[in-house]
Structure 1
Amino acid sequence: MKKWILALVACLTFSMTAFATIEIYEFENLEQEQQFKDLGNTLRCPKCQNNTIADSNAELAVDLRHKVYEMTKEGKSKQEIIDYMIARYGNFVTYNPPFTVATAILWLGPIAVVLFGFGFIVIRSRKPKVATTQEKEQWDADKEARLKALLDEKNDGDKQ
C-alpha cells in the first residue's frame, strides 16, 4: 500500500511540472524575432493593466502573444500589428497612447491640477489679511476692562 501511495505522490509531483511550461516561438529570421520581442515589451496587457504582454501570465496576454506571433510570422509590420491591437482593444493597449480628445484629460489633467494648486496658493498668499486688522481695531477699552475683571475674578477664586 505504501508503494502505491508513494507512486501516486511521485506521479502528481512530476505532473505539476507540465503546467510550468515555457512558450517557445521559432522564427524564420532575426528581424521577426526582434520585432516579436519589441512588440511584447510595447503592448500592455488589457487585463493586468500594468504589465506588458511579455511579462503577464494572464490568459489574455498569452492569447495576445500568440496573435502577435502569428501576425509576425505572416510578415506583418510592427505598425500593422499595433494598429490591429488598437482597433481591437483601444489605445489603452499601448503604453504611450496618442494625444486625442479622449486621452486629453490623461495628458493635460496633471498639468491642470498643478497649475490650479499653484494659482490657488499664490492668490491666497497675496490676499490682504483684513480679518486680523479689523479685530485689532475693534479691541477697545471696554473689552480691556472686561478682560481685567475676568482675570481678577479668576485670581480671587483661586485664593479662596
Structure 2
Amino acid sequence: MRVLVLLALLLAPILCIAQVSDPTPLRFRDAAEETRFHQLTSELRCVMCQNQSLADSNAQIAHDLRREVLDLMNQGKSDAEIKRFLVERYGEFVLYKPEIQRDTWLLWFGPGLLLLAGAIVVVVIVRKRGAGGTVVSDDNQEW
C-alpha cells in the first residue's frame, strides 16, 4: 500500500505538467474558410516536427498553432498577416517557402549554382578528353 502511495506522489507532478489540448474539433463557417485554412496550414511548417507541414503534424504545438491560425482567420487577418505573426513568433523556419532576402539568397539559389558548377566541370573534363586525341583500344581485354 505504501508503494502505491509513494508511486502516486511521484507521478502527480508529471500529470500536472502534461498538456491537454482542446478536444473540440475545429469549426469552419463555410467551405471557403476551410479551404483557405487547409491551404494556409499546408504552407506552414510545424516548429517541432521540422519536416512536416502544420496540416500534417500531430504534435501538440501543431494542434495549438492550427487553432491559433483559425482564431486569427476569424479575427479577419489576411494570410500574409497570419504568416507575418508566426514568423515574428517562431522565425522564418515556420515558412516552407521563405521570402527571397539577403539571409535566404543561398537557400534559393545555392542548388542552381551547384548544378551550374557541376555542369561546367563536366564540360571541361569532356573537352580535355576530346582534345587529347584517339582512344587506345585493347582487344585482349575481356569484358
TM-score for the superposition, normalised by structure 2: 0.65
Q: Aligned pair in 2 of structure 1 residues 71, 46: CA closer, same or farther (>3 Å)?
A: same
2:137 is aligned to none
2:74 is aligned to 73
2:38 is aligned to 37
1:13 is aligned to none
Between Structure 1 and Structure 2, which shows a larger proportion of helix residues?
1
Give 1:33 deviation, angstroms: 3.0
Instruction: Give the 3-state SS of the residue equivalent to 1:40 in structure 2.
Output: helix
CA distance in structure 2 between the aligned counterparts of 1:28 and 1:118, rounded to whole angstroms: 53
Instruction: Say what the alpha-carbon RMSD is for the aligned residues.
Output: 2.6
Identity %: 38
Contact 2:45 / 2:93 at 8 angstroms: preserved in 1? yes
The unaligned stretches of length 5 or more in structure 1 are: 1-18, 130-160
Q: Partner amino acid for 1:99?
A: I
Contact 1:27 / 1:73 at 8 angstroms: preserved in 2? no
Question: Which segments of structure 1 move beyond 6 Å, counting only runs of 4 or more?
Answer: none
Q: Aligned pair in 2 of structure 1 residues 121, 27: CA closer, same or farther (>3 Å)?
A: closer
Give 1:27 deviation, angstroms: 3.2
Return the index of the structure with the highest Cα Rg. 1
CA distance in structure 2 between the aligned counterparts of 1:77 and 1:114, rounded to whole angstroms: 37
The unaligned stretches of length 5 or more in structure 2 are: 1-19, 133-143
Give 1:66 deviation, angstroms: 1.6
CA distance in structure 1 between the aligned counterparts of 2:108 and 2:123, rounded to whole angstroms: 24
Counting matched residue pairs gives: 112
